[in-house]
């Protein structure tokens, strides 16, 4: 099966549907919830939530539960029937959040608690990081994000791209460019609302194709209320030495997020319909020598490049300016021209397990923890320190609770 999905913002009827589903799911116990969505062989119910029908993308009720050590979501669409999808291959990795408000929790021992963030000048009456308000209150609407902390702002400046990847969550293939004045206005409005932004990411498409790309970088670099500037790229623009060298001026505030899905021709042809590995490796060496911080971003697809995880991690550890290695299982949205099986996909635990098995690093499963600035099932993190040519995992020495207030959303 091949899939191409299009999504749009929620309309008034859709928002009403969300409100109705919330109320219905909150009233169901575990047994009633299983019956409501047609869930079978439920070892342990974890929560009810709102999901999407895989056929029509309508909002539907869902039950998240354990079965044979895995975590499954069962859902029911009145038009297209029952379906299941794998959420986590290893149930030990799955967490609930204290901010899960689209249903009912049944496993309080699995809750990962993230303090509530309050906008500047609007501290909650119970004190910083706390709230006395009803956590299920809808406020201005179920999609209102104004009172969430902003970890990273993604500004889509173009839908143009110089690759035609078979896997692209944004389905980039256009020629639209965000006007520079509009870009400045959007960023300034958000800064006025938030007071400060930890990071802003210029994205697309391929953002470096924007005719005023460098003006945008300069604007963010000079803005004192923006701490970090992220530049995701496929690397083709910066394969030109003169373009890569222009990044050096911004190195103290900038990080290049370089797409690197694998080191084999077959992997890159399958995912990107191109084979830019050699130029990307040259770019890594050039930026490393110039002192420009980098993140290697690997998009992972089952049976395509999941055996190359270790090679990418090892390559990153060889370069001191590679500060982050992001390992991202594919999302089946936008453009995805590979086979799809919702019960057979890479999950977070699969990625962690493969890193431990393939890379030349020493770590344990317990060294992986949820990224504390978002939902605990959005991503997990572990931290290594390089010193004197040696690599040590230091995650066990990080006090996550102490850091939580600084990064919670």
Q: Flag the least confident range among 23-27, 129-133, 152-156, 376-380.
A: 129-133
What confidence tens digit (pLDDT) does each residue in 358-399 have?
999 888 888 998 887 778 898 999 999 888 888 888 888 877
Residues 6+ apart with CB under 8 A from 46: 64, 65, 66, 71, 94, 96, 105, 106, 107, 110
* Structure confidence at residue 113 as a pLDDT band (50, 70, 90): confident
* Residue that the structure tokens 């000079």 belong to: 222
CATH superfamily label, 153-360: Aldolase class I (3.20.20.70)
pLDDT tens digits, one per residue of 294-313: 999 999 999 999 999 999 99
Beta bridge partners of residue 44, listed in sequence order: 66
User: To 10 degrees, the CA torsion angle through 350, 361, 229, 179?
Assistant: -40
The SS3 call for residue 108 is helix
List, for residues 159-195, the tens digit of each pLDDT value: 999 998 988 887 778 889 999 999 999 999 999 988 8
Confidence of residue 3 (pLDDT cuts 50, 70, 90): very low
Question: How many CB atoms are closer than 10 A to CB 278?
Answer: 10
C-alpha–C-alpha distance, residues 45 and 47, integer Å = 6
Average pLDDT (134-159) is: 67
* Sheet hosting strand 226-233, strand order edge to edge: 153-156, 197-203, 226-233, 254-259, 294-300, 322-329
The boundaries of every CATH 3.20.20.70 domain in the chain are 153-360
Confidence of residue 143 (pLDDT cuts 50, 70, 90): low
Taking only the tens place, the pLDDT of each residue in 239-295 is 999 999 999 999 999 999 999 999 999 999 999 999 999 999 999 999 999 999 999
Q: Is the dihedral of CA 132, 137, 139, 142 positive or negative?
A: positive
Give me 281's structure tokens: 């490796």
* Count of Cβ atoms closer than 10 Å to residue 251 Cβ: 15
């Amino acid at each position: 099966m091949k899939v191409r999905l299009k999504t749009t913002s929620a309309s008034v009827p859709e928002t009403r549907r969300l409100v109705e589903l919330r109320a219905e799911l909150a009233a169901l116990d575990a047994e009633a919830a299983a019956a409501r969505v047609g869930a079978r062989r439920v070892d342990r119910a974890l929560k009810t939530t709102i999901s999407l029908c895989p056929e029509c993308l309508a909002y539907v009720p869902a039950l998240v539960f354990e079965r044979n050590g895995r975590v499954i979501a069962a859902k029911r669409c009145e038009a297209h029937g029952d379906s299941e999808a794998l959420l986590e291959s290893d149930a030990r990795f799955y967490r609930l959040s204290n901010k899960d408000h689209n249903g009912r929790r049944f496993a309080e021992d699995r809750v990962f608690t993230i303090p509530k963030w309050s906008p500047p000048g609007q501290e909650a009456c119970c004190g910083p990081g706390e709230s006395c308000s009803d956590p299920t209150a809808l406020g201005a609407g179920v999609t209102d994000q104004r009172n969430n902390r902003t970890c990273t702002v993604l500004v889509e400046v173009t839908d143009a791209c110089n690759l035609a990847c078979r896997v692209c969550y944004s389905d980039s293939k256009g020629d639209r460019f965000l006007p520079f004045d509009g870009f400045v206005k959007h960023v300034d409005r958000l800064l006025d609302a938030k007071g400060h932004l930890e990071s802003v990411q210029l994205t697309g498409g391929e953002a470096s194709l924007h005719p005023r790309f460098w003006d945008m970088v300069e604007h963010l670099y000079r803005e004192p209320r923006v701490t970090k500037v992220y530049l995701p790229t496929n690397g083709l623009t910066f394969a030109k030495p003169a373009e890569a060298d222009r990044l050096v001026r911004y190195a103290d505030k900038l990080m290049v997020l370089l797409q690197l899905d694998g080191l084999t021709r077959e992997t890159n042809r399958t995912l990107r319909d191109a084979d830019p590995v050699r130029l990307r490796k040259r770019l890594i060496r050039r930026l490393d020598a110039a002192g420009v911080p980098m993140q290697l971003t690997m998009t992972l697809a089952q049976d395509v490049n999941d055996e190359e995880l270790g090679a990418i991690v090892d390559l990153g550890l060889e370069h001191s300016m590679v500060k982050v290695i992001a390992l991202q299982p594919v999302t089946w949205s936008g453009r995805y021209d590979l086979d799809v099986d919702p019960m057979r996909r890479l999950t977070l635990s699969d990625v962690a397990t493969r890193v431990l098995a393939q890379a030349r690093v020493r770590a344990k499963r317990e060294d992986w923890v949820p990224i504390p600035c978002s939902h605990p099932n959005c991503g997990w993190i572990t931290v290594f320190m390089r010193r004197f040519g040696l690599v040590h995992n230091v995650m066990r020495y990080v006090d996550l609770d102490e850091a939580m207030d600084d990064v919670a959303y």
